[in-house]
């Protein structure tokens, strides 16, 4: 598993992203990142990300907006090619950032995790040349990812955050704990964001205006309800479900003991109560 960083920089960066992503870009500041998704015209997410505002104020009268999307590496090329179809009409550019190193660490949680669902914060540093130097993002107050970016002159740099096995397990454990599912190539264009807990994580804005897929997403929110839902469960409970009810389920993320799984509403309704209690 690896993550990568996609930069959108230029005068129209905010305007461009606002017309592409599900979250409200105007509310993303250098200290308040946001979860978001990029969707096709059917409202299905082909990519999702953590969006950070890394804008550096050059002077009082000259601000160059920049945003960084932390995204699964296996869909970053697809995402870049898709965005470049539209970015030509805006005064901004998109590029993949080179990464020199990263540190992933678990933080002690002192607050009820149920109250942390919307708690993302970030710290940005810049070089003397006004380029982004490092990005530290804290998720839910109990997981921190610090990315050090490489300069153009740096050697042996990489274009992605390549997790070790220990980091991979740590990342998955926290994502499952908080029901945070980042889209990868395997599940790209399978889900509408509201089906995978993005409403609850403030990853969708319903009053920001139009963006690709917005009509479908808004219609589902105001006039209907999702036909499937993301659940957190144990591997044992999932195996029990498969034994008792032959059904299609989409295993989206898992570690040794727990998993995130998407179940159709009709399937969930038929699960015995004792087993249903193991899905949340």
CA-wise closest residue to 72 among 46, 42, 105: 46
Judge whether 204 and 218 are in contact, CB under 8 Å: no
Q: Once rounded to an integer, what is the mean pLDDT over residues 238-254? A: 69
Most confident of 116-120, 213-217, 219-223, 249-253: 213-217
Is the pLDDT reported for residue 118 higher than 60? no
Task: Please compute the mean of the pLDDT values over residues 85-90 and round it to a whole number.
Answer: 94
Q: What average pLDDT does this structure show over 133-157?
A: 78
**pLDDT recorded at residue 115:** 40
**Cβ atoms within 10 Å, residue 100:** 16
Lowest mean pLDDT among 145-154, 178-187, 222-231: 145-154
Mean pLDDT is highest, among 98-112, 194-208, 251-265, for 194-208
What pLDDT is recorded for position 128?
66
Choose among 279, 280, 3: nearest CA to 139. Answer: 3
Q: Residue 5: pLDDT band by 50, 70, 90 thresholds?
A: very high
pLDDT value of residue 36:
97
Q: Indicate the range of 34-48, 53-67, 159-173, 198-212 predicted with least confidence.
A: 53-67
Average pLDDT over residues 67-72: 94
Q: Taking Cα atoms as reference points, which of 237, 7, 38, 1 lies closest to residue 131?
A: 7
CA separation for the pair 141, 115 (Å, rounded) = 10
Start-to-end CA span in the chain (Å): 25
Map residue 76 onto helix, strand or coil: helix
pTM summary value? 0.90
Q: What percent of the chain has pLDDT over 90?
A: 46
- pLDDT score of 119: 62
Q: Give 125's strand partners.
A: 134
Q: Average pLDDT, stretch 24-28?
A: 95
User: Residue 95, CB half-sphere, CA atoms under 13 Å: how many?
Assistant: 8
pLDDT confidence band for 259 (50 / 70 / 90): confident
């Amino acid at each position: 598993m690896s993550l990568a960083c996609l930069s959108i920089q230029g005068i129209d960066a905010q305007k461009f992203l606002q017309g592409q992503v599900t979250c409200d870009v105007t509310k993303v500041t250098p200290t308040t990142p946001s979860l978001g998704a990029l969707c096709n015209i059917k409202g299905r997410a082909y990519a999702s990300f953590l969006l950070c505002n890394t804008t550096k104020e050059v002077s009082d009268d000259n601000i160059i907006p920049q945003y960084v999307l932390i995204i699964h590496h296996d869909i970053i090329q697809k995402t870049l090619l898709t965005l470049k179809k539209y970015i030509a009409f805006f005064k901004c550019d998109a590029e993949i950032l080179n990464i020199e190193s990263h540190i992933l660490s678990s933080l002690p949680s002192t607050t009820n995790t149920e109250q942390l669902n919307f708690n993302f914060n970030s710290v940005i540093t810049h070089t003397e040349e006004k380029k982004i130097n490092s990005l530290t993002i804290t998720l839910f107050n109990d997981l921190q990812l610090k990315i050090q970016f490489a300069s153009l002159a740096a050697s042996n740099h990489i274009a992605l955050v390549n997790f070790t096995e220990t980091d991979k397990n740590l990342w998955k454990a926290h994502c499952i704990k908080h029901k945070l599912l980042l889209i990868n190539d395997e599940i790209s264009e399978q889900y509408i964001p509201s089906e995978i807990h993005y409403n609850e994580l403030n990853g969708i804005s319903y009053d920001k205006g139009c963006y690709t897929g917005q009509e479908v997403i808004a219609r589902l929110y105001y006039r209907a309800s999702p036909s499937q839902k993301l659940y957190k469960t144990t591997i044992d409970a999932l195996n029990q479900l498969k034994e008792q009810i032959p059904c299609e389920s989409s295993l989206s993320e898992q570690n040794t003991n727990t998993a995130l799984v998407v179940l159709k509403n009709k399937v969930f309704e038929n699960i015995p109560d004792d087993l249903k209690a193991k899905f949340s």
